[in-house]
Amino acid sequence: MVNKLHRALKEKATCEAIKLILDKCPEAVTVKNIGYGELPLHFALEEKSCHDVIQVLLEAYPIAVQVKSKQGWLPLHYALRYNASDNTTLMILKAFPRAAESPDNEGEFPLDFALRNNASDDIITEILEAYPKAAEMKIEGDDFPLHLAIRHGYLDYVINILYDAYQEAIQKQNIDGCLPLHIACDHRASNYVIKMLFEHFPDAAKMQNQKGWLPLHLALRHKACDDVLKMLFTAYPKASEVKNRYGYLPLHYALQENASDDIVTMLYNEYPKALKVKNKDGKTPLDYAPNRIVPPPVVKPAPRIDLMHPLLRQLASVYSDPIQISQEILQLFNSSEGSSLTPQVSFKDHNRLLALDGNLTVVVNEKKCSIPVEILIPSGYPSDSPICYLCPYPVTTIEETHQSLGSDHKINLPYRFISNSLVEFVKNLVRSYCSKI
């Protein structure tokens, strides 16, 4: 009779036929088969029996939901592994919620089964509610459920609830050295998922996996959208110089996968030498797109701070404390008033001094004021105050007849404006001489 019940399930017997067998031999529902030690409930789920048959077996032997097969699988594992309907799976879970806490012989939890077999968002939610710590459980290959969900194409809802359940997973590398962001880029996850992972852990953009792939390599290889590519590049521009194990730079993949001109230009401008770099196949980026016209790199101006240090070295004999001057100028460059100033050497009045040229900008009475100036740093600074000249541009917002403007365009600050630093000097300058627009 035991074999008859399993055989009936194998042959897809109707619910009425199963009931007849149980009426004649009620104990049949409690006996395991020989092979995998499966009760009829296990076996019915494996055979994908209909919901009504599962319900009959469960009602006939309710404790079956707590019994494991030889593989360590509970009926919940079977329901998830063999894609039972949501109604059937929820019925099994509600009959024994603690099943969500039970790993099989391989250490995998029902949540892992659910993710591997593309269970619905509702099922994932119910399992996590039954056992939230399942999101923290590492599985084979050092994956966490977050890694697994991304690999299996889950969208933002599931990714978000897994992240909320165990936020540290976003920084965990698996056995291949892959973070969730690597997996997302490698498996063409949605733009939302990639951006969400990046925003929660931006440093992931700088990390290579065991094969040397950065997220940017993977995103280019799998044709991510320009917004994603620019986001990853902006977070780590040096990625343009990083080779993976196969000798590929990001530019190799950009040209191989026909990335947009914006992306190609972005990578090339950051690292022009990339065009001549060969991968392990002996190919340069242009070998993958011989007809592609790559524009010449844009020559980027040197950062102002990089210009300033060589100038101060040239003027080492002029200033007694160039370090203080360097620090104050850096503060000035980072201020709103001095953001457009540029350092250079001035020979005004036959003196060789450091000068800051450009426009001082400020908003007064809701109108933007622009002051074209040259600020000289005297050799006696900071004991001696900086000297400021209004540049004789054709158009200026400062009146030429201003009471503190000399005939040589030197601006004389009133005595009440005492300045203890370059930033304060410039702020006072603006306050004093930008009152009329």
Q: Per-residue confidence of the chain (437 residues) as pLDDT tens digits? A: 446 899 999 999 999 999 999 999 999 999 999 889 999 999 999 999 999 999 999 999 999 999 999 999 999 999 999 999 999 999 999 999 999 999 999 999 999 999 999 999 999 999 999 999 999 999 877 899 999 999 999 999 999 999 999 999 999 999 999 999 999 999 999 999 999 999 999 999 999 999 999 999 999 999 999 999 999 999 999 999 999 999 999 999 999 999 999 999 999 989 999 999 999 999 999 999 988 877 776 655 555 666 777 787 788 788 888 888 888 888 888 777 777 788 888 877 667 888 888 877 656 566 666 677 888 898 888 888 888 887 754 444 444 545 556 666 777 765 445 667 888 888 877 776 555 43
Q: What pLDDT shows up at residue 331?
A: 82
Q: What angle do CA 178, 183, 188 make, to 5 degrees?
A: 160
Q: Counting Cβ atoms within 10 Å, is residue 49 exposed (0-12), middle (13-18) or buried (19+)? A: buried
Q: What pLDDT shows up at residue 418?
A: 61
Give me the phi and psi of 119, to 5 degrees please.
-65, 160
Q: What pLDDT shows up at residue 300?
A: 56
CA–CA separation, 362 and 368 (whole Å): 6
Q: What pLDDT shows up at residue 156?
A: 92
Question: First vs last Cα of the chain: how many Å apart?
Answer: 101
Give me the phi and psi of 385, to 5 degrees please.
-75, 150
User: Nearest to residue 108, comparing CAs of 138, 70, 79?
Assistant: 138
User: Nearest to residue 67, comparing CAs of 26, 95, 25, 48?
Assistant: 95
Domain made up of 304-433: CATH architecture = Roll (3.10)
DSSP per position, 68-136: --TTS--HHHHHHHTT--HHHHHHHHHH-GGGGG---TTS--HHHHHHHTT--HHHHHHHHHH-GGGGG
Q: Where are the domains of the chain?
A: 1-137, 211-300, 304-433
Residues 6+ apart with CB under 8 A from 96: 65, 66, 74, 75, 76
**Packing angle, helices 191-200 and 156-165, rounded to 10:** 20
CA–CA separation, 415 and 406 (whole Å): 16
The 3-state DSSP class for residue 342 equals strand
The CATH class, in words, for 1-137 is mainly alpha
Burial call 257-282: b when 16+ CB within 10 Å, e when fewer: eebeeebbbbbbbbbbebeebebeee
Q: What pLDDT shows up at residue 292?
A: 84
Residues 6+ apart with CB under 8 A from 14: none
**Packing angle, helices 226-235 and 191-200, rounded to 10:** 10
Q: What pLDDT shows up at residue 436?
A: 46
The fold adopted by the segment(s) 211-300 is: 1.25.40
Please give the model's pTM, rounded to 2 decimal places.
0.68
The answer to whether 1-137 and 211-300 have equal CATH topology is yes
DSSP per position, 362-398: EEETTEEEEEEEEEEE-TTTTTSPPEEEE---SS-SS
Give the amino acid at 103.
Answer: P
Question: What are residue 359's DSSP bridge partners?
Answer: 372
Burial call 390-424: b when 16+ CB within 10 Å, e when fewer: beeeeebbbeeeeeebeeebebebeeeeebeebbe
Dihedral in degrees, nearest 10, Cα atoms 289, 207, 188, 273: -10
- Altogether, the residues listed in the chain come to a count of 437
Give me the phi and psi of 417, to 5 degrees please.
-90, 90
Give the amino acid at 289.
Answer: A
CA–CA separation, 162 and 170 (whole Å): 10
Contact, 65 vs 95, CB < 8 A?
A: yes
Q: What pLDDT shows up at residue 314?
A: 80
**Packing angle, helices 226-235 and 261-270, rounded to 10:** 10
Give the amino acid at 183.
Answer: I
Q: What pLDDT shows up at residue 50?
A: 96
Task: Beginning with the edge strand found earlier in the chain, give each strand of the sheet holding 353-364 in spatial order.
Answer: 342-346, 353-364, 367-377, 387-390, 410-411
